[in-house]
Amino acid sequence: VFRTNAAYARFWEARKVWGAVVNTSRDNVRLALIALDDPVLRDRMVQLGMLYPFLLKQHLQNDPDVDEVAAFSTLSSDELESLVNDPNPPLRVCQRMGDVLAKQFDDRDDVMAFNYRTYIEGEINKMVDFLGMCERIK
């Protein structure tokens, strides 16, 4: 009974974390569409947000697959290859999302830009936290 209960608790925790991963990725895409003025940076942030759950799944299963993510991504094949073959692809996605925010907001000093950047960085930090939670459950 103990093993059954422990396994179920682990499953339930993983289910909650995975739901949070999907919701946060979706929120980041929505925020990018609202907050990023530059269409190139906006598209990049959307692409990275869409890739995160897939790359996290592959990372947790130790099963990198460029073809799976290439099917829906407009990132270059070299960049996809680089992401998929990184030692920690989901963490690399979060770093690149931070780079996009820096390019969009570093030269702006208005309050709205500061608020957007702070909020989106908080969401990216959540994604890093979820990565750690998933690795712990694994």
Query: Is the model's pLDDT at 2 over the cut of 80?
Result: no
The count of other CB atoms within 10 Å of the CB of residue 3 is: 7
Tell me how far apart the alpha carbons of residues 18 and 100 are, in angstroms, rounded to a whole number: 24
Name the nearest CA neighbour of 30 among 133, 119, 129, 95. 119
pLDDT value at residue 101:
96
| Predicted model pTM | 0.93
Q: How confident is the model at residue 5 (pLDDT cuts 50, 70, 90)?
A: confident
